[in-house]
Copies of this chain bind each other. A is one copy, B any other.
Amino acid sequence: MFYHVKELQFNARVSKPDPKFARLLLEQFGGSNGELKAAMQYFVQAFSCKNPYPDKYDLLMDIATEEFSHLEIVGATIQMLLSGVNGELKNAAEESEIMQLLGGQAAKEGFIHEAMVNPHFGVLTGGGPALTDSNGIPWTAAYVTANGDLTVDLRSNIASESRAKIVYEYLMKFTDDPYVKDTLSFLMTREIAHYQMFEAALNTIQPNFPPGVLQGEPRYSNLYYNMSTGMDARGPWNDGTSTQLGETWQFIEDPLEHVMSSNGLVDLKPTGTDRTAAKVAKLDKSMSQIRSEEVKSATQEIDMQSSTYTKDGGIIEEPKKKK
């Protein structure tokens, strides 16, 4: 259950209206790396670990709830940056006086120009925030990734926090309102904090590589295909040993020859690794058992209940038992 208190988590202030920056800031309200994306991503991920991993559930809900609170900060800042637009629009009948006040046609043009910054502010939202990015693209759940595996989801979150951080960094180049900068700085810093929280949580799960349960095929896990020719570079990503499995990178200079000579790779033998098909199969089996058991042991299959309320009471009919 969620609660709301009317004070913001941060004392967001604005020196004066700035509809242009309001448009840019939409990127963190309804944009692909914005606060709603973060909040919804952690919120959705949390459901599948509530029972098997209650500590990670707590972590995800703590951060999800903070991101909702940040969404509110961003929205309130946009509203302040648009101060005056709504009142002006309500003055629906008074065109001629505006014209006089503003100095005629040129001023009118200017007024329109301001609104053009984001037409939605002028003709759709009436001078308030909208759940879109800085180009007016409606927020979509296509931004959210939740794959039901913590070794994957936590990595998705580390990357998401990185992207949210850089967008705040970019945004700071486009305002010189010190109040707004303070708010952006707070929000940017929190992404750095969350990054480290997710990283620490990932470290507590061992082994966490490869993500998920299954190991990779030893024949294919250390090949580097030189698919783009010209100005080829060598570095620790195709030379030496790989970061996690510690295998020796095999640099395939000529991928076509390699593929043709190995009958489409199916005749390849493992090289540069001491992992074998047998070892992999054994590891797959034991990891499957562990991970599957973690979930199954924590999950009921009949008469499930999500909260800790007493089980009985309140029901009108008797539940059907599982056959």
Q: Which residues of B contact A148 (CB under 8 A)?
A: 86, 89, 125-128
Interface size class of A (residues with CB under 8 A): 35 or more
Chain B residue with minimal CB distance to A36? B40
Q: Which residues of B contact A92 (CB under 8 A)?
A: 169, 172-173, 212-214, 284, 287-288, 291
Q: Which residues of B contact A127 (CB under 8 A)?
A: 48, 148
* Number of copies of this chain that the complex holds: 6
Are A212 and B165 closer than 8 Å at their CB atoms? yes
Report 22 cross-chain contacts, Cβ distance below 8 Å, ordered by A residue. A1-B7, A5-B230, A11-B263, A12-B307, A31-B124, A47-B128, A88-B173, A89-B173, A95-B172, A119-B134, A138-B140, A149-B166, A151-B162, A152-B166, A155-B159, A162-B212, A165-B211, A182-B315, A186-B217, A193-B223, A195-B209, A195-B210
A309 to B162, CA, bound (A): 31
Are A146 and B119 closer than 8 Å at their CB atoms? no
Q: For the A-B complex with A54-B231, A92-B287, A93-B288 known, give 14 more contacts whose Cβ atoms are closer than 8 Å.
A: A1-B8, A7-B259, A14-B303, A14-B305, A44-B130, A84-B299, A88-B173, A90-B149, A116-B117, A126-B149, A126-B166, A178-B318, A189-B216, A196-B245
